[in-house]
Amino acid sequence: MPSILFVCSANQCRSPMAEALFKSILEEAGVLLNWRVASAGTWAYEGVQATYLARQVMRERGLDIEGHRSQPVSGELLAEFDLVLVMEASHRDYLQGHFPLVSNRVHLISEIDDREIDIADPVTGTAATYRATVKQLLIYFELGFNRILEWVVKLS
């Protein structure tokens, strides 16, 4: 079963939104049940709910992340996934440095489009800031869906 882990800092905004968005894309493609999709944070505390604005913006899109609870990244968790997509170069550098056995599985999301662009943390922003983050994620997922599939197949 192909698997993908989305990683941000606290696992309360970007990565749970990315998880929900990617699951919805897989569902539309009719293959969600064949995938494992999750999220975590490099500096996350265990069990914290997604931020209010993340939940609100996902609700606007018909996606429910009310049950999301944060989880920290660990070597054991990373080993369970074929592909790890991170929001910032600092996340990639941290994971590759601390978990070298899985470093080849870790990619910055913008690498989908052969770029090195961080997805900014919307945590201190407005609903519009969160919506902009969602739009940015969706652009990468839509542009790079086939590339994500290639990475997963190559790494699994």
The yes-or-no answer on residue 59 being catalytic is no
Q: Which residue in the list 13, 14, 55, 92 is annotated as catalytic?
A: 14
Q: Per the structure block, which two tokens stand in for 74?
A: 């660990």
* Catalytic one of 8, 82, 92, 105: 8
Catalytic residue among 93, 118, 121, 147: 121
User: Is there a catalytic annotation at residue 64?
Assistant: no
* Cα–chain center distance at 67: 16
Whether 14 is catalytic is yes
Dmax of the chain from CA atoms? 39
Of residues 50, 55, 47, 39, the one with CA closest to residue 6: 39
Asked if residues 115 and 89 have their Cβ atoms less than 8 Å apart, the reply is: no
Instruction: Please name the residues in contact with 94: beta carbons below 8 A apart, sequence gap of 6 or more.
Output: 42
**Catalytic residue annotation:** 8, 14, 121
